[in-house]
Amino acid sequence: MKFRILTLFPEMFDSPLKSSLIGKAQERGIIGIEVANVRDYAQDKHKQVDDYPFGGGPGMVIRADVALRALEDARRELPDARTILLSPGGRMLSQELAGELAAAKSLVLFCGHYEGVDNRILAAVDEEVSIGDYVLTGGELAALVVIDVVARLIPGVLGSEESVSDESFTDGLLEYPQFTRPRKIDEMEVPPVLVSGNHEEIRRWRKKESIRKTLTARPDLLINKELNDEEKKFLLDIILAGREGEE
């Protein structure tokens, strides 16, 4: 998988992309990340990349001519790339979308900035993607989030496919609670089932606790999830136990 980031602030990517699993994945050649400065595509002597919006209004807008040259160059280098504009008006990033993006051969990520981008830029991208309902100073942090979420789904990046399959949102639920040594801290002890050695009971406990955590923290996720018979039983048990505790 290759990533090409188009940004006005390439220095923002120096440290994050060299750290942790993303840095190691690049060293091992599993993923490749290139950062290009959009300002390099400006053709005037001042390297101007933005201008005042037609019709008036606050802030500056990224010029379409400069951005389109950057995108065209990226297309030439990565003809099979899926091209994305990081934008608050885009499709919300989710684990499902991350899976779609991870299936691409390469991704081009254009980072918006200032008051926005000239709307004609949209003709040169495949889609817009947002990481949440809030406003950032630019698309650089959003691009880093997309890279992190997508890269960890690429085989070999994490080193364990099992760890990916057990994570939150993978099956529409939050991940079950995790514990490690020591077994007891003050009065807090690891649930006995987790040290019982009974793998089936551990699986059932984890599934039930996953549903319990989702019901408590993100009940909205359960609305769109198709529960199997076992999951329905666990959910009913949790709800009934909660009602009994209120009486």
CB 39 within 8 A of CB 49: yes
Q: What is the mean pLDDT of residues 9-29?
A: 95
Q: Are residues 62 and 147 in the same domain?
A: yes
**Model confidence at 222: pLDDT above 70:** yes
Q: What is the mean pLDDT of residues 35-48?
A: 96
Percent of the chain with pLDDT over 90: 87
What is the pLDDT at residue 114?
80
- Nearest residue to 112 via CA among 93, 148, 88: 88
Q: Are residues 119 and 193 in the same domain?
A: no
Q: What is the mean pLDDT of residues 236-244?
A: 91
Q: Are residues 8 and 120 in the same domain?
A: yes
Query: Could you say which of 136, 151, 166 is where a domain stops?
Result: 151
CATH number of the domain encompassing residue 194: 1.10.1270.20
Q: Are residues 50 and 120 in the same domain?
A: yes
143 belongs to a structural domain = yes
**Model confidence at 10: pLDDT above 90:** yes
Domain count, the chain: 2
Residue spans of beta strands (DSSP E) within the chain: 2-7, 32-37, 50-51, 61-62, 82-92, 106-111, 116-117, 127-130, 184-185, 188-189
The dihedral over CA atoms of 173, 93, 132, 116, expressed in degrees to the nearest 10, equals 180
CA distance 74 to 202: 48
139 belongs to a structural domain = yes
Write out pLDDT tens, residues 69-93: 999 999 999 999 999 999 988 999 9
161 belongs to a structural domain = no
Q: Are residues 142 and 30 in the same domain?
A: yes
Q: Are residues 33 and 82 in the same domain?
A: yes
What is the pLDDT at residue 171?
83
**Model confidence at 174: pLDDT above 60:** yes
CATH number of the domain encompassing residue 59: 3.40.1280.10
Mean confidence (pLDDT) of the chain? 93
**Model confidence at 243: pLDDT above 70:** yes
pLDDT band of 115, cuts 50, 70, 90: confident
Q: Are residues 223 and 140 in the same domain?
A: no
Residue spans of beta strands (DSSP E) within 112-218: 116-117, 127-130, 184-185, 188-189
**Model confidence at 159: pLDDT above 80:** no
Q: Which domain holds residue 48?
A: 2-151
**Model confidence at 161: pLDDT above 60:** no
Q: What is the pTM of this model?
A: 0.86
179 belongs to a structural domain = no
Residues β-bridged to residue 2: 32, 106
What is the pLDDT at residue 197?
96
**Model confidence at 177: pLDDT above 80:** yes
Q: Are residues 34 and 108 in the same domain?
A: yes
CA 193, 197, 198, 203 dihedral sign is positive
